[in-house]
Structures are given as C-alpha cells and as structure tokens.
Amino acid sequence: MTEPAQAWPTPGWAAGTTSVDQRRAQVECAQILDDAGIRPGEHVVNLGDETALLTLEALRRVGPEGTVSTVTPRVPVIRQARPMPGAGTVRWIGTDPFTLDLPSASAQVVVANRVFAYRAPLRGLMAEAARVLEVGGRLSIREPLHAEQRVELDWQGIDPSEVDLVHTAVGNATPALRAARRLSERGLVLAGQLTGLDAGLPRCDWVHVDLREVDAVKAYLSRPVTPGGPSTAQLMRSTITDQRLVGRYEQALVRGAEHSGVRITLPVMRLTAVRRALPR
C-alpha cells in the first residue's frame, strides 16, 4: 500500500504515555536517522514502527523525491499521524521483517528501533536487511540490552531471591523476551558480518526511568515490555503462580518509590553497518 505522506489525517495518537516518553522517543528516532546519514531522494526501509515517529522523521528527511517503506501491522493506527507537507511517499508493508516484499538492492538505507532485540534468529533478520540494501547502503539500528537491565531501590518486604524469581519469570515469559535476553553486541555484529554487513563499533546509551510516586509505578507496570506486547503487570500475573509474591513485588516498588525513589536503567545499543559487495 503506497500513499503520499501529506495525505495523512491529523493526530489523535502519539508515542508513549507521558510527555517524557514522547520526547525520549523523538530523540531515539533522530539518533537512528542521524547515524544513517539519510539524504534527500533516498529509499529508506524501516523494519518496524509502532509509533510512526521513525517513519515520519525519515519521510521529512528524504523529501518529496524519496520513499519510506515501513513494516507495520498497525496501518490504521499509524495513519492518524500528523500530515507531512513536502515529505516523501510512504509504503506500508504488512508482512514480517524476515520476508520483505521488496526487490533486492532496492534501498539505500535500512533502519530499525527495538526490532532485532525481539526476533530470532538474528542472522535471518540481518540477511533480509542486507538483501534489500544496495552495495554501499547503510544499516542503522537501536536495540535494548534487556539482560543488563537494572532495577535499583531499597527493597522492603520481599526477599532478594524473590525479586530475582519475578525478574526471571517476566524475562522468559514470551518468545520475544527470551530473544531479548540473549541479545548481545557481539551477536549483532557477527550476524551482520555473516550476511554482508560491515559494522562499526557499537555505541551504548543508558536509558534511566525514575519512579518517585505510586502513579509512576502503576504506569511503569502497565506499559508494554515489548512493542505491542503485554505489560509487566500482565506478564507477572500470567506466569507467576503465587499471586501473593506478585503483590509483594508491586508493594516493594511502591514503597521504594515513596521512600527514596526507584531507578530503572536499561543499556541501549546503537549500531551502524555498510553493505559490502559479496564475492560471486
């Protein structure tokens, strides 16, 4: 499905649940596109877009002669994005990023935000990104490293072993989260090298979420852990048999937020790569 971006209707939907979430998402998208070095007139493939922000900013950068092909299961929702006068043309791809409905070597840039972390095998996804890129084309991705996430607070009313049990249960609750726990910088770089993508040195940003009141804890527990997936609260209730443990964990977060605050730290990797010519 292809349509000019300027035909989109006005808002009604925005990324994130707070102004802080929205601002963070905008900064993330800008970083990905800055790293890609997008130029006017290029064809950009976006491997996943739950919020439309990455697509919208890419469209602005490629200009009226450019195109952005976006993989998304949520076309009706994303159509509520803001109009983009003078932007490029968007094409919605309703398939999965492992099987893009695009010709080989048809794109100058492939971008992704929180896509590679939640899908396996990495090599298959990298191979498809490499296939649609022309030689010299650029890949720019931003992926969270869930295995290194830290939750810092003065835990009260719950044993450290119980905290570990909750975190392990949530981290293994879905195929997407199990894939995320296995993701590493080395694994991403190696998957790229094996499929014809020469990566630079990965860069790491640290995303901090501070919870200082009950409502902030409730909002955190209610957010999807993976794009379009269940929340932490839903995962705890569906995977942990002892619901009293779930209650103690939630109350410990509330006490921590009210006492000295809760800080959740998630390292996020930014990686860029260039498509090399493969030997015939």
**157-214 residue pLDDT tens:** 999 999 999 999 999 999 999 999 999 999 999 999 999 999 989 999 999 999 999 9
CA gap 142, 271 in Å, rounded: 6
Q: Which pairs from 148-153 meet CB under 8 Å and 24+ separation? A: 148/266, 148/267, 149/264, 149/265, 149/266, 149/267, 150/264, 150/265, 151/262, 151/263, 151/264, 152/262, 152/263, 152/264, 152/265, 153/252, 153/253, 153/256, 153/257, 153/259, 153/260, 153/261, 153/262, 153/263
Residues across the chain: 280
So what's the pLDDT on residue 74? 62
Q: What pTM did the predictor assign?
A: 0.86
φ/ψ (deg, to 5) at 2: -125, 140
Which pLDDT score is estimated for 77? 53
pLDDT at 73: 67
Cα dihedral value 27, 33, 39, 43, nearest 10: -130
pLDDT of residue 26: 85
Burial (CB < 10 A; 0-12, 13-18, 19+), residue 241, is exposed
Per residue of the chain (280 residues), give pLDDT as tens: 544 444 333 333 333 456 667 788 888 899 999 999 999 999 999 998 767 789 989 999 999 999 999 987 665 555 555 546 677 888 888 778 999 999 999 999 999 999 999 998 999 999 999 999 999 999 999 999 999 999 999 999 999 999 999 999 999 999 999 999 999 999 999 999 999 999 989 999 999 999 999 999 999 999 999 988 899 999 999 999 999 999 999 999 999 999 999 999 999 999 999 999 876 6
Whether 16 and 25 have beta carbons less than 8 Å apart is answered as: yes
- pLDDT, residue 15, reads 38
Question: What domains can be seen in the chain, in order of their start residue?
Answer: 2-146+182-206+269-275 (3.40.50.150), 148-175+207-264 (no CATH)
- Which pLDDT does position 86 carry in this prediction? 74
